[in-house]
Chain A
């Protein structure tokens, strides 16, 4: 018995290691090219062993670091606030949907699902938020449009509630006369740590990675998040290299970010998440054994 268990462990580890290598090697390539000199990049392409090491990309980005630091702060604030709201609204919406006897349950599910498919487009949403609510160039513009609620997360949470929270438990508490909010807070949530952690993580990622809100709703550089900075740079360089851009390239008093700089900014953009992620993982712990249910 112990032999096969160990053998299985070894196989599992090998597979995971291969997968991890598969995932990480291209990233390593990206990192090494962020400190390779531009000439070496053109002559030899991206290499795991750069022929010419050169930190100009990082110097360029971090010497004038006020932009980057402010970018991080904006990203951090927006992500924390946005994620908190998102998870709250999602949980509050998903829990009632998980209660099978709720009248109109299917209607509400359809109500939210419909929004996943049909969309009025950027312009009406933009007009709504800027014209009616006047949030342009404010921090709210990075939090409210589109990201505050996601049908996907709602369905995931609802599914988790219906699958993993046995109805019997809820019924038992109700017989004791508990209110719904109480049930949600004291019974359901503690049993749902993994899904809450999941939604928090996913919502957090969607806020951290978002750059469209910043692009459309903000044009003061005081409120640019780190992703907006990165993507503006990428868009500019993509454009200036394209057909139309070529004609104006020479007369533009702007430098095109080198490949190294682009890689460097990608590294800087992803780094904070990698630092924070391990803290989330402790929530993905085996849940409570609800022994009383299965007799």
Chain B
């Protein structure tokens, strides 16, 4: 009974959105079409119940109209947004101006946009937060919910979402809300993008095609050894596998780091709730033993942990054949763009979703003089393709050109490319990239593929668990320093695991890793109990 009532209200909200968008906005045809193609999954179901709810629908859309009337008559206000990725100041201002046209009409609110470079985003943001400067909305980027909420850098959003964030509430499922809440209050709105990750291996297609080993048989990292041996035989000057700047931190395993800082679920697809030391686990030993065998057989590049090049650069220069990669829709395209060659990504570990998979979200800081407005604008960005396209991609004509109206595909205008555009694109950092244009270099279906990808992902047992490290910060600092000494060397197979792992684990114990794990287990059990 409860379930069907929930479904009903969900359909009604979708219907409301549709009517609101067609009724109240001045959108062009293409954004309508984007909406339609986006909601193909739900539209069939909503059609069925549409007729029976017509009268209710009218009532609700009337209410919506009243609300939007009210909103457009508010006092003028400026919502200041902080975003990552360097961009020229003039271009930011122009983009903000164009975006403001939409928000001014709806909420009498102007948008101001500042963008900080990746390398210094957190410092510059922290300065703004600490000095009480004007700031209304910002993207989380390296600020976790627990850290932010505990330090008072972000405010609770429950009431705001209720009042002004209906579109957001409708679109985000309950498990996802758990991942951005603390102590029962929601603190962040997670971005709509790929929300899970799989792992596998990225290979240079050209070389792969000349090999005989059957890659469909590959189900684990160990199975890769035969493939690498063949590469070494046929191409003696190419390293079968390379590291990425000395790291190889992705594993083909169902590992859930449970918020980081040591203490993990070894296989989060099982029902086990035991928090263990990953570096002391069997799975880890097996993985790095295989990798070590690659090193001893000469299949891994020399000095893997001190290599300072990107794996993509090594493949581009023809020095390497493959590297361990994550998988998501469009990963081939992304890698090809960086490498400049055809790349085949073979998935070895199917996608699974953790709390951490929802790593990008938006917050409202206590600095905001009007969190109401901030939420109104956020809701609008999340649900309005026209607005989000301006913010993500910039101005039509200056920063992009529409290549295919119907499918909503865009490209750089003549003379502009990634290195000289004044407004760099960071679609993943905005609230909802799934309703925006796709670029020619991407697969035109990448957004629908993403939705399917997210749906197909296995949810970890620990998804929704929020780790609070406040009680063990000293131990974390000590253990992190120990980890730095061994992590890359063991991961890349450079050190012999038989000798190195016991030393590593011993040092971790002395640094207090068991205290951290005990604390995490305690918090995890508590959380599991509260879920029942």
B114 contacts A219, C-beta separation under 8 Å: yes
Contact with A along B416-454 (1 / 0, CB 8 A): 001111001111110000000000000000000000000
Please give, as numbers and ranges, the residues of chain A lying within 8 Å of B132 by CB-CB distance: 127, 131
Contact with B along A216-245 (1 / 0, CB 8 A): 100111100000000010111111111111
Chain B residue with the shortest CB-CB distance to A237: B119
Taking the complex as formed, is B219 at the interface, i.e. its CB lies under 8 A from any CB of chain A? no
A122 to B312, CA, bound (A): 37
B317 contacts A42, C-beta separation under 8 Å: yes
Known: A221-B88, A250-B337, A254-B424. A232 touches B117 (CB 8 A): yes
A255 to B116, CA, bound (A): 16
B130 contacts A127, C-beta separation under 8 Å: yes
A239 to B123, CA, bound (A): 13
Taking the complex as formed, is B18 at the interface, i.e. its CB lies under 8 A from any CB of chain A? no
A201 to B334, CA, bound (A): 48
Question: In chain A, residues 238-291, which have Cβ atoms closer than 8 Å to a Cβ of chain B?
Answer: 238-256
Known: A131-B131, A244-B142. A235 touches B117 (CB 8 A): yes
- The A interface, classified by DSSP as helix, strand, loop or mixed, is helix
Please give, as numbers and ranges, the residues of chain B lying within 8 Å of A241 by CB-CB distance: 245, 310
B426 contacts A251, C-beta separation under 8 Å: yes
Taking the complex as formed, is A109 at the interface, i.e. its CB lies under 8 A from any CB of chain B? no
B124 contacts A122, C-beta separation under 8 Å: no
Taking the complex as formed, is A123 at the interface, i.e. its CB lies under 8 A from any CB of chain B? yes
A4 to B40, CA, bound (A): 94
Contact with A along B318-342 (1 / 0, CB 8 A): 1100000010000100110110000
Contact of B419 among A39, A60, A127, A131 (CB under 8 A): A60
Chain A residue with the shortest CB-CB distance to B310: A241
A170 to B120, CA, bound (A): 52
| CB of A210, distance to nearest CB on chain B (Å) | 15
Chain A residue with the shortest CB-CB distance to B336: A250
Taking the complex as formed, is A179 at the interface, i.e. its CB lies under 8 A from any CB of chain B? no
Taking the complex as formed, is A164 at the interface, i.e. its CB lies under 8 A from any CB of chain B? no
A43 contacts B319, C-beta separation under 8 Å: yes
Chain A residue with the shortest CB-CB distance to B334: A250
Contact with A along B106-141 (1 / 0, CB 8 A): 000000001011111001101100111100000000
Contact of B116 among A42, A219, A251 (CB under 8 A): A219
Chain B residue with the shortest CB-CB distance to A130: B131
A203 to B75, CA, bound (A): 50
Known: A42-B317, A241-B245, A255-B418. A250 touches B335 (CB 8 A): yes
Please give, as numbers and ranges, the residues of chain B lying within 8 Å of A236 by CB-CB distance: 86, 117-119
A254 to B117, CA, bound (A): 11
Contact of A254 among B313, B314, B418 (CB under 8 A): B418
Taking the complex as formed, is B159 at the interface, i.e. its CB lies under 8 A from any CB of chain A? no
A126 to B130, CA, bound (A): 9
Known: A42-B313, A221-B88, A252-B424. A216 touches B118 (CB 8 A): no
Please give, as numbers and ranges, the residues of chain A lying within 8 Å of B429 by CB-CB distance: 248
Taking the complex as formed, is A215 at the interface, i.e. its CB lies under 8 A from any CB of chain B? yes
A113 to B418, CA, bound (A): 49
Taking the complex as formed, is A64 at the interface, i.e. its CB lies under 8 A from any CB of chain B? yes
Interface centre among B89, B309, B335, B429 (most CB of A within 10 A): B89
A261 to B118, CA, bound (A): 18
Taking the complex as formed, is B249 at the interface, i.e. its CB lies under 8 A from any CB of chain A? yes
B426 contacts A252, C-beta separation under 8 Å: yes
B420 contacts A238, C-beta separation under 8 Å: no
Contact of A239 among B119, B337, B427 (CB under 8 A): B119
Please give, as numbers and ranges, the residues of chain A lying within 8 Å of B326 by CB-CB distance: 247
Please give, as numbers and ranges, the residues of chain B lying within 8 Å of A242 by CB-CB distance: 245
Question: In chain A, residues 39-53, which have Cβ atoms closer than 8 Å to a Cβ of chain B?
Answer: 39, 42-43
Taking the complex as formed, is B413 at the interface, i.e. its CB lies under 8 A from any CB of chain A? no
A221 contacts B89, C-beta separation under 8 Å: yes
| CB of B350, distance to nearest CB on chain A (Å) | 18
A234 contacts B244, C-beta separation under 8 Å: no
Please give, as numbers and ranges, the residues of chain A lying within 8 Å of B103 by CB-CB distance: none
The number of residues on chain A lying at the interface, defined by a beta carbon within 8 Å of a beta carbon of chain B, is: 42
Contact with B along A102-128 (1 / 0, CB 8 A): 000000000000000000001100110
Please give, as numbers and ranges, the residues of chain A lying within 8 Å of B428 by CB-CB distance: 248, 251
Chain B residue with the shortest CB-CB distance to A40: B317
Interface centre among B85, B118, B334 (most CB of A within 10 A): B118
A247 to B418, CA, bound (A): 18
Taking the complex as formed, is B376 at the interface, i.e. its CB lies under 8 A from any CB of chain A? no
Contact of B317 among A39, A219, A240, A252 (CB under 8 A): A39
Chain B residue with the shortest CB-CB distance to A255: B419
A235 contacts B89, C-beta separation under 8 Å: no
Chain B residue with the shortest CB-CB distance to A253: B425
A235 to B121, CA, bound (A): 10
| CB of A184, distance to nearest CB on chain B (Å) | 40
A215 contacts B419, C-beta separation under 8 Å: no
| CB of B393, distance to nearest CB on chain A (Å) | 9
Known: A243-B249, A245-B118. A232 touches B86 (CB 8 A): yes
B120 contacts A235, C-beta separation under 8 Å: yes
Please give, as numbers and ranges, the residues of chain B lying within 8 Å of A234 by CB-CB distance: 119
Known: A122-B127, A219-B116. A250 touches B424 (CB 8 A): no
| CB of B17, distance to nearest CB on chain A (Å) | 27
| CB of B444, distance to nearest CB on chain A (Å) | 16
Please give, as numbers and ranges, the residues of chain A lying within 8 Å of B460 by CB-CB distance: none
A123 to B130, CA, bound (A): 7
Chain B residue with the shortest CB-CB distance to A261: B419
Please give, as numbers and ranges, the residues of chain B lying within 8 Å of A130 by CB-CB distance: 131, 133
Taking the complex as formed, is B247 at the interface, i.e. its CB lies under 8 A from any CB of chain A? yes
| CB of B305, distance to nearest CB on chain A (Å) | 14
Question: In chain B, residues 133-189, which have Cβ atoms closer than 8 Å to a Cβ of chain A?
Answer: 133, 142
Please give, as numbers and ranges, the residues of chain A lying within 8 Å of B133 by CB-CB distance: 130
Contact of A126 among B131, B334, B426 (CB under 8 A): B131
Chain A residue with the shortest CB-CB distance to B249: A243
Contact of A215 among B124, B126, B249 (CB under 8 A): B124
Known: A246-B244, A253-B418. A235 touches B127 (CB 8 A): no
Question: In chain A, residues 113-160, which have Cβ atoms closer than 8 Å to a Cβ of chain B?
Answer: 122-123, 126-127, 130-131
- 18 additional contacts, CB 8 Å, given A123-B126, A219-B124, A250-B334? A42-B319, A123-B130, A126-B131, A216-B127, A222-B89, A235-B119, A236-B117, A243-B247, A244-B142, A246-B244, A250-B337, A250-B338, A251-B427, A252-B85, A252-B425, A253-B424, A253-B425, A254-B424
Q: Across chains A and B, which 7 residue pairs bring their CB atoms closest together, nearest first?
A: A235-B119, A250-B334, A253-B425, A42-B317, A239-B119, A255-B419, A239-B118
Spell out A's residues near B (CB within 8 Å): 38-39, 42-43, 60, 64, 122-123, 126-127, 130-131, 215-216, 219-222, 232, 234-256
Spell out B's residues near A (CB within 8 Å): 85-86, 88-90, 114, 116-120, 123-124, 126-127, 130-133, 142, 244-245, 247, 249, 309-310, 312-314, 316-319, 326, 331, 334-335, 337-338, 359, 418-421, 424-429
15 A-B residue pairs with CB within 8 Å: A38-B313, A43-B317, A43-B318, A123-B126, A123-B131, A232-B86, A235-B119, A241-B245, A241-B310, A249-B334, A249-B338, A250-B331, A252-B85, A252-B426, A254-B86
